Structure 1
Amino acid sequence: MKFMTKIANALMERYLPDPYIFVAILTVLVLFLGIILTPSTPLDMIVYWGEGFWGLLNFTMQMVIVLAAGHVLANSPVFKRFLSFSARKINKPSSAIIIVTFVSIVASWINWGFGLVIGALFAKEIARHVKKVDYRLLIASAYSGFIVWHGGLAGSIPLSIATPGHPYEDMIGGIIPTTQTIFTPYNLFIVIVIALTLPFFNRWMMPKQEDVVEVDPELLLEEEQRFPPAEKTFASWTERSFVLTVLIGLIGVVYLIYHFATKGFALDLNIVNTIFIILGIILHGTPQRFLAAAQNAIKTTTGIVFQFPFYAGIMGMMTLSGLAGVFSVWFLSISNDFTFYLFTFFSAGLVNFFVPSGGGQWAVQAPIMLEAAQTMGADFAKTAMAVAWGDAWTNMIQPFWALPALAIAGLKAKDIMGFCLFVLIFTGIIISIGLLFL
């Protein structure tokens, strides 16, 4: 395995382009595929691209905030001490890989936004204290836990079909509760087996000592916050006022208590962002320190701001041209009663390369897959979960979702994708077994 991962990493470092170049190539590829495989003209495909370009604007802002707010929280004195204390308990590279992977899996199963940020922040802190740990593998391990998100509590597809009034309610005869999706034996089997084995699989990929790439010390340097001397003015007083922090923090905490008291343990991206922001405000103590931390954090969001619109454009071409449907129908044409869920999973994995959004992918594939399930007498709930797992699966080699973790770590996609390729293969086997035989 060490030899194979070494080759994979070498190939990725040599041939995998920057994420922006990757999305640019995907854009051109989808445009030509749409012209070849659908009745769309070149102008049609360009128009579809333009119409979809801003389709992820709301989501892009959410991702910018989850990354920036996670940074702000991590750089608060209390949280830094907590991360440092936890990291100091780990003294071996092998333990670091195992623990980071498991923490990321648990956090991602609870909420994907929480898992993406916390896993990477914890991994970076561990790199400060554990010597001779391969930093590339450490960050790849933190990202690998994201594989379980769509089988977890915040999975967008299972939550969508469990909500009254969802778009496919008439087709499937109502709602499908999470007891038939997230908490089914096959889904729990997949999640539990991944949680118990992936940490050790990642450890197995640890390179030989002479091939270890330790963290660049410059990536761990923190910009020192410097503040002008206090002045006897109202503006200066408010900037340093702990009272204002307490009042805003109290408002936020009361709202969060109300939210969880009335809606249960409902964690969506907006609530995760609210938690991060309120905790960041409280733990930094004064508005001045909070704003300084936010200013530093926002520098890490460049990749998201300027790449997500291109993915939205690709999604526009895939959906409006019908190209996503062409891919799905092709997989359905070669499936039978036994392989239906497996090929649904594979088709979703392929479509996810071009539509890397759980909700967006479900909108594209649901009409086709649910109608096929109805024709074949297959289970609607399991069909939906097969799409969900396919969406999560190929995220391992799709830079779209790795951008937040890479921004926190200070790495490039090619640094971790060699390891993530083997995570894709390993987890793909587990997911396939769960969908085929349980």
Structure 2
Amino acid sequence: MTNLNTLRAHPIGLPESPRKITPVVTGKRAWGMTGLVVFLYTVNYADKAVLGIIAQPLARELGLSSSQIGLVGSLFFTTFAIGGFLAGPLNKYLTLRWALLALALIWSVVMLPLVFTATFAVLIAGRMALGLAEGPSTALIHTAAYSWHPPAKRGLVSAILSSSASVAKILFAPVLAYISIEYGWRVTLLAISAIGVVWAAFWLVGWKEGPFTTLTAADADTDSPTAFVAESSREPSVPWRRIFLSRTFIACTFLAMSLYALTTIVLTWLPSYFELGLGYSAMQAGSLFALPSLAALTTMIASGAVTDRLIQRHVSSRIARIGVACAGVLVCGEVLITLPLIDVPIATVIVLTIGYGAGMVAVPLLHSAVSELCPPQQTAGTMGMYMALMALGGLIAPYATGVVVDHADTPAAGYALAFQGSGVWVVVAGIVALLIANPDRDGMMIRRT
């Protein structure tokens, strides 16, 4: 009988002997593997966004109020937050290859019962199961991508990963909206399921884990074409409380929660806002859904590339990561606060696009800053805790938005008020992070002996 301690020491899918040599690290291979991860993250966000796209036809068929649709969104993010705490255990007992494959296959099937039995209870059960399966994936996806890139070059990687949400809305949202209008919301769910299965096939054939989440920090900053992993890392693990109680971790988490609340409102309600609040058709609303994401995609990629260059030129992470992030967040909040004052539909779309694009600058930079706080072998656990706490921002925001819309004088006024409240939160959180977050200082304090 296999010894239980042996199983714990060697994750499923790995040989029982320690890994001594990692794959060759070249730019082409690193970005090829990153592309596979981005493909997965795009599918992940398409699964999140599909509720916003089918919300109105689903509500009409099932007789749902805005509060009920919002409740479904909040319950999804409740289990998403709970699932986030499972990232560390999954990374401990399974390889990234098999953990992410299993999670993606679960995503692909949990919403299918709704296709055959359309009830409010089945909708809730399916979305909660989807949230639980997607919860650990965010941290594991980042860990998988970071395994091919050293810390100094993770700003661009984080930006590309974070932009997967934008890519999903730019590429998938109009297509899914068209499918929903022409063929019904059930076919839309079947299409999302099929995309997940296609990704699984590519993943099984192509994925290999990189070296940079098992190397020491010193090793990870080199660009040598080959890398060797010692049987035990030369950088010792640190107590988790040092990481989680550091001022940078707390400030970044609070700011990320505020941005995630905004993201969940966009994912759940933006097409409905454009259709019911601003008077656009369902097809126009599905297409306009992509505009804020296009702005976010542009700003995230640009900020990721620029801040990586600053870090490599020895600019402090406090300036390059935190300073730039907070500048974008403050612009975002100030723009969203003005939304109830605007009564021209196209002007509302433009303001939302500018505000969302500015705020999303912070997302990849905060991810990168948090990843700098811990020894490489604790990346998955650190990112899992951070992203699980970040997801708490989505627990209340979708439901609260539905309640506000149901009780507002008009849908337009209700949606605008919800976005204004989100703007206030991100401003407060941005100021807090600007004052107390310092990845360089806290990273050294956490690693002290």
TM-score by length of 1: 0.27
| Structure number with bigger Rg | 1
